[in-house]
Amino acid sequence: MTYDVLVIGAGPAGYVCAIRCAQLGLKTAVVEKENLGGVCLNVGCIPSKALISASKLVDKIQHADVMGIQAKYEGLDLQALVAWKAGIVNKLTSGVGGLLKSHKVDVVMGEARFLAAGKVEVATKEGKKVLETKNVVVASGSSPIEVPGFATDGEHVWSSTHALAPRHLPRRLLVIGGGYIGLELGLVYHRLGTQIRVVEFLDRVLPGMEEELSKEMGRSLKKKKIDVHVKSKATGYQKTPNGLAVSVEVEGKPQQFECDVVLSCVGRRPNGKGLGLEAIGVKVDERGFVPVDGKRSTNVPGVYAIGDVAGQPMLAHKGSHEGLVAAAAIAGDQGAAYDPACIPAVIFTDPEIASVGLSAAEAKLAGFDPVEGKFPFGASGRAMSLNETEGWVKVVGDSKTDKLLGVHMIGPEVTELVAEAALAIEMGATVSDVAQTIHAHPTLPEAIMEAAEAVHGMAVHIFQAPKKH
């Protein structure tokens, strides 16, 4: 059988692409070597957010007395928590399988390798089979980077996957990597009672985020009495009678820290190599990314790439959108193009972080004359009623045109609030458009409106000293 489209990988990029191809009338198959839904649904976005929600509930119960509620936290049934999380994952992955079946997408479980541009060999449990297709979409995702000296074994050294299905709660956890995965998971364990220590190679946590967001998170971690070591490199560990002794170079000086488990979260690398792409002439860079054009097409006609393997940012929602673009291009839509005005980034730490568009520094480099407005959640009535007043919203605009350039937030539910900002930027809104939009009261999104007013020095619920002319 010859397919119109063969998608390699059934993660958020691949399965979305396959379903859209089928919706557009294309005979479609998808090859997946592990689990439908990929890393995101099985051992990434979804299960981590389930554990984050549970740990936040524990924290709320333990601090409910400030609201006059005498709630009693009597402990955690860890295996019941892990089973609840697994149930959510199972519902979602089963749902993906059902959608693929309903759209008549053939699913082949196995490992794919190119024989030619339109011919892919799949190693299945039953043996090897060859699939022929007019178009191939590579959505092979990414894999965790392993730190030298810290091979993950599920006992002494955990990967993020191990951290999502713990058999026990460690008393002391050392997290290698102060990026979003390390902090999200580290804070889960912190809320559940584990002592956390973070080791970050660069000069601040969340080094890829807007600088003030990163600094605010650093301050928040300090308030929580979490030890953070920046400009530091973990070099190895030894087993001791008390657990593990981890060797760390802190700003060039050797130190040792004791812990029970090391959690290694230093990022991911694209799975562009090992598929045979180079053998059919597809360019793959030294890191494993596959360069693509606006239609997500590689340099070889009929071969497309989407998701983590197609370049930064390595985010599920970016991959899903690329899947829709590639499907439209394959179906013959001449206008199909990947051209987002912005891509939101969300981090489910405590407090949450969300960012979309340009920072002031990036705006300046892009030729704008940036101006910022900021509004604290401490002045938000809704945030007060939630007892979550930490953080703020920052709006970045262009002083000459009033164009909305970026919105950066740290605080309650900002992972939800960022959608408003992304839509506004995508539609070409001005800062005044946001400021003049009537927001329901009392709600958290009012903070975005007030931050937009603050760009012009006109926020109502904070005092802004008049600008000197």
Nearest 10 degrees: CA dihedral of 293, 297, 298, 300? -130
Question: Domain check: are 379 and 391 in the same one?
Answer: yes
Query: Phi and psi (nearest 5°) for 149?
Result: 90, -5
> Do 364 and 323 fall into the same domain?
no
Task: Kindly state whether residues 370 and 293 are assigned to the same domain.
Answer: no
* Total-model pTM: 0.95
Give per-residue pLDDT as tens, 263-306: 999 999 999 999 999 999 999 999 999 999 999 999 999 999 99
Rounded Cα distance, 265 and 160, in Å: 7
**One-letter amino acid identity for 195?**
Q
Residue 385 · residue 422 · CB < 8 Å: no
User: Is 148 contained in some domain?
Assistant: no
Q: Which of 220, 237, 266 is where one domain is finished?
A: 266
Domains held by the chain: number: 3
Q: How many CB atoms lie within 10 A of CB 85?
A: 20
Q: Are residues 251 and 192 in the same domain?
A: yes
DSSP annotation of 351 reads: S
Nearest to 405, CA basis, from 338, 451, 464: 451
Indicate if 23 and 36 belong to the same structural domain.
yes
Residue 468 within a domain: no
In tens, the pLDDT along 171-227 reads 999 999 999 999 999 999 999 999 999 999 999 999 999 999 999 999 999 999 999
Q: Is 192 in the same domain as 314? A: no
* Nearest by Cα to 192 from 89, 40, 82, 86: 82
Question: Are 9 and 137 within one domain?
Answer: yes
Which of 354, 319, 264, 15 has the alpha carbon at shortest distance from 142?
Answer: 319
Please tell me whether residues 89 and 10 are part of one structural domain: yes
Query: How distant is the alpha carbon of residue 176 from its chain centre?
Result: 18
State the pLDDT at residue 469: 62
Q: In a 3-state reduction of DSSP, which class is residue 347?
A: strand
In a domain, 440, yes or no: yes
Please indicate, yes or no, whether residues 112 and 8 belong to a single structural domain of this protein: yes
Predicted confidence (pLDDT) per residue in 94-151, tens digit: 999 999 999 999 999 999 999 999 999 999 999 999 999 999 999 999 999 999 999 9
Q: Is the pLDDT of residue 420 over 90?
A: yes
What is the rounded CA–CA span in Å between residue 455 and residue 397? 7
Tokens in use for 165?
């299905």
Beginning with the edge strand found earlier in the chain, give each strand of the sheet holding 195-199 in spatial order.
157-158, 261-264, 172-176, 195-199, 227-229
| CATH of residue 165 | 3.50.50.60
Q: CATH code at 359?
A: 3.30.390.30
Question: Domain range for residue 54?
Answer: 2-143+269-330
Q: Which residues are known catalytic residues? A: 441
Residue ending a domain, among 233, 266, 299, is 266
Q: Which residues pair with 409 in a beta bridge?
A: 354, 393
Query: Same domain for 259 and 276?
Result: no
What is the Cα–Cα distance from 360 to 372, expressed in whole angstroms?
Answer: 7
Question: Cα(336)–Cα(293) distance, rounded to whole angstroms?
Answer: 11
**Strands in 13-59 per DSSP E:** 28-32
Check: CB of residue 448 under 8 Å from CB of residue 454: no
